[in-house]
Chain A
């Protein structure tokens, strides 16, 4: 088990290293002359060179990458080109906000998706299964801004049930905040529902078809107990893994939803940094997302192997 954890941990580190190279390449190398970029085409050549020197962009690429990643590891994410203040304060604040929104979405979608998958699997190929499967597929493939617009029109404008902005008034309590977060969370819920329900359905069908389920039925165990003890436990395992890997997707969805609902999270931070060409902010926030994703998938894999001993046996051999 320890061996497995170590191996899995090392793999995450390698992935993060490659990711940092990718981000560095996209953020520092592709834009070309950042000084020219920031000052515009009319700026004096000398001023451009001075700014580049100030930002350390005239040093060899390897040195630039080394300093960038070394400082990042120590928690120094550089200084925003736009605000001229350390990026880290913005990023941590935004991450906290996004986690709140993501938590609301997950709290709604995980039970809903799993339940949908279980019902579909128990009624496989019947109308209810078709509705859940096709509905889930449809909800999953629609871009978030499209579902968000439709939800805003229905629940915000026509029915007037929910506020169409996520900016709650100051001093709103947890419930008050929740009221403002439900509509923004819904597009994420819709996209994730299809994935989770599909995984849960597939896992359940496989478990229902298995020999151990047949044995349990044949030895006379009541159907309810068979489902509870044998089918659910085995059938839902893959779903756990999927839920965690969706954190990567979630951030892409957050970017859209947060922009649309004017919510100050990591998504809108990335969006604004991209618009303002604030590369340090952009690189830092994307890297933070990468780290979050790596941690989430690592935890998911560990949880999965903990729940399913077969995997850790195989890998430790």
Chain B
């Protein structure tokens, strides 16, 4: 009885503290949303008004029709690059993970752990030579530069292999007896069984590509393939003191991410747990 009362009190205290922290956590975003619906004059007038006095959609109208900083174009570019990257990575990484997790060949584990060991090498060391290679390939200002180099990533292979290792051997053996070759086993048995972990790897690949700032900043000069993070940073300079417009652009950049998060929160959390447990 006493223990249950203590338990209840603990829960209530924790709830209240979490509520207070949440207000602080959400305040920046609420402030941004509020500003985006204000007139420019109200946006820069001091005063703590969360609800706009003259509610207006002007900033959004301006953003959607601005030809110099076409945010829809940026969103489209980011989406195309991230989607292409994710699809290709899923294919390449799952094939490789099947090789390291299911097939048996000489030096298999040595090669795999050598790959894992390279994760210790910081990306910064490769930045400038990789740019040099982009020049050689004539990939500057091209979509390939955004999609391809990241496909060498090892982390997704690691997650997939761990999962493949736990697939019951009997399933694979009995398929073999039925005359299936490894490509069929990969396609018809392993891949369908691995949907949850494939989703996790896809989310990581997609978000990493979608949010990358430094690499697209370096390899893109023109507007043709400019991605959302680079475009937004540019708008910060161009819109300068038009805060309502800037905040409307910010809100637009939050919406796709928020939608993805709502749809796949469970997988994000599962993925982080999987990656954290490897220690």
Does A pair with B?
A: no
**Which residues does A use to contact B, with CB under 8 Å?**
none
**Which residues does B use to contact A, with CB under 8 Å?**
none
